[in-house]
Chains A and B, each alone.
Chain A
């Protein structure tokens, strides 16, 4: 018995639809019919079909137009054109547009058999392709990090190499590039993989709290310390400690951590008894710490201690070839989470995503896809579903003055930050007062 396929018959003549339906029922396939191209597209949005038999001559949307739309949005669907008005030109045109074959009504029984054999063969190719694609995904995924670009492949190659040693690693890269995923991958590949992986966001914890979080404290060490508590440096015991946003820690904390890294011992706050430590440190930052060191804003000795090995995670705008893979991954993730079946993205939508610069990197892309999946009303994400993603378009690429570029950039950042001046000033790395002056100078107005 042949594998069951979901087949749709699209023909405005009921007698033809019924005839096809009865014939395919004898083959055991699951058959649905549509009386017009519009109805066919609606049904395609509701459930997947492997094969479509499409009549060329239909009122409203003809078969060629439907073929074009199907191939654009559901390229995997096999389309067979059926026509009573067939000319070689129409058939050739349909085949050029992606139809697998065509049938002239009424056709000889053996012709339909041949077409069905061709379809089954094609299905085999598709399943082989899916298998190869799956294998490729394994190659392009590394411990949940996705990327086929040379830059990411370099990161993938580096991870197992550096995982073997105990040397401190500093992962650099812009916000949202996946630095923590890289740290987790290193931990997973290391001999410490069965021991804890503890991640601390240094930028999110005040300095005093960070000290007790890391080093722990004894009962009575300070007001409110009603019981002793182990710090993460102790808890991690044998595992990996991941300190995110290491560039944000105070100089005092840099000194304290430097001593820990050199001596591999700590003393809890309120206790003088040293405790031996065994952990691997992985840090991450989006700052240019070398620049900070040069400007005397960061301790050089601490920087060299945490930066024995450097892994740089490239920003998404420099690996745009990874966008389709990432989109595919996030679609699967959010289709599963939201139980909404959204499994296609039009080429137009992908082009839009590739045009955008993604200042928030993969995290921003993930949020965009999640939002689009939640709001989507069909199985396919179209360009209009991603209208909130604003590509940096360049309709007129004529030379612009520095003044103009600066004005546009400030305006764009303000827009991205929802006109939150403090946030925009932080992104622009300028003083808030300076930003206010610039807004006034360039006469920028909140929309």
Chain B
């Protein structure tokens, strides 16, 4: 089942390796059946930098990007190589508002393993893909899932993120299909 009329824009913030963006786009196409276009990068958002925490406020970045004119795209996924936070938490891997238009993925904490060692590129890309799929799920109004292996399960740390599978559980798959159908009138082109 494909939803060709739903378009995703992938926006790098700052200097993001092209391979990271391509890998995320491939994950979105592979697991959501949605095309994702890689768009020109944005400058680092100095306005969102918190000098006390030395991190970027994810909420402020999302608000700023939602105000930008990406009229050709239904949903925007931004990728940023900086440490993100939301006011109640010390860090987040990604952020999206429930049913919103813009999601944010941070690759900053995905480069190292739990023991502090450097993680291989393939694992980093898989992690970034998982975070992107999870946050995109929120944009399509999917909630956190109690199934620990579902991509919509909340991963508080790297270990949980690595343990999560790249699939949605059967309930989240159904909810996602319903959400995609509802979105844009659902032109179902199932074979």
User: Contact at A27–B144, with CB atoms within 8 Å?
Assistant: yes
Question: CB-defined interface of B69-109 with A at 8 Å, one 1/0 digit per residue?
Answer: 00000000000000001111111110001100000000000
> How many A residues touch B, CB cutoff 8 Å?
25
User: Contact at B89–A112, with CB atoms within 8 Å?
Assistant: yes
Known: A1-B145, A26-B144. A106 touches B154 (CB 8 A): no
The verdict on A23 contacting chain B, using a C-beta distance below 8 Å, is yes
The verdict on B41 contacting chain A, using a C-beta distance below 8 Å, is no
Count of A-B contacts judged by CB separation below 8 Å: 74
The residue on A at minimum CB distance from B96 is A26
Contacts of B88 in A (CB 8 A): 16, 19-20, 23, 82, 105-107, 112
User: Contact at A26–B145, with CB atoms within 8 Å?
Assistant: no
The verdict on B171 contacting chain A, using a C-beta distance below 8 Å, is yes
Q: How far is the CB of A4 from chain B (nearest CB, A)?
A: 9
Chain A contact residues: helix, strand, loop or mixed: helix
Contacts of A15 in B (CB 8 A): 87
The verdict on B157 contacting chain A, using a C-beta distance below 8 Å, is yes
Q: How far is the CA of A18 from the CA of B98 in the complex (A)?
A: 13
Q: How far is the CA of A105 from the CA of B52 in the complex (A)?
A: 14
The verdict on B146 contacting chain A, using a C-beta distance below 8 Å, is yes
The verdict on A25 contacting chain B, using a C-beta distance below 8 Å, is yes
Chain B residues 112-150 with CB under 8 Å of chain A are 138, 143-146
User: Contact at B144–A107, with CB atoms within 8 Å?
Assistant: no
Contacts of A106 in B (CB 8 A): 53, 85, 87-90
Q: How far is the CB of B135 from chain A (nearest CB, A)?
A: 10
User: Contact at B156–A27, with CB atoms within 8 Å?
Assistant: no
Contacts of A339 in B (CB 8 A): none
Q: How far is the CA of A318 from the CA of B53 in the complex (A)?
A: 65
The residue on A at minimum CB distance from B171 is A1
- Can you give 5 contacting A-B residue pairs, CB < 8 Å? A23-B86, A109-B89, A111-B156, A112-B88, A112-B89
* Partner-B contacts on A (CB < 8 A): 1-2, 13, 15-16, 18-20, 22-23, 25-28, 82, 105-114
User: Top 10 A-B pairs ranked by shortest CB distance?
Assistant: A110-B156, A28-B143, A109-B156, A19-B87, A25-B98, A113-B156, A19-B88, A106-B90, A27-B144, A110-B157
